[in-house]
Amino acid sequence: MDLGVLPGVEVRSETRSPLRDPTAYRVRGTLIALRRSQARGIHIVLQDER
């Protein structure tokens, strides 16, 4: 089972903790919590920018 954030995969922000770190993201049907320091390493292109 692959939970990676791969090119072309849709990522949606679902919810944030009360202190805004971490944030939960929906990726390929799985909820993944990332801290800001982890999320900084992921480049996101908004759907409208395609």
What value does the mean pLDDT take over residues 22-44?
A: 88
User: SS3 letters for 1-50?
Assistant: CCCCCCCCCCEEEEEECCCCCCEEEEECCEEEEECHHHHCCCCCCCHHHC
Among candidate residues 6, 7, 24, the one with its CA nearest the CA of residue 15: 24
Average pLDDT for residues 25-29, to the nearest whole number? 89
Q: How far is CA 18 from the centre of its chain?
A: 17
Question: For the whole prediction, is pTM greater than 0.75?
Answer: no
CA 4/CA 32 separation, integer angstroms: 10
pLDDT band at 1 (very low <50, low <70, confident <90, very high): very low
Tokens of 37: 């320091």
pLDDT at residue 3 in the model: 60
Domains in the chain: boundaries? 12-49
pLDDT at position 35, please?
Answer: 92
**pLDDT tens readout for residues 3-19:** 667 778 888 899 988 88
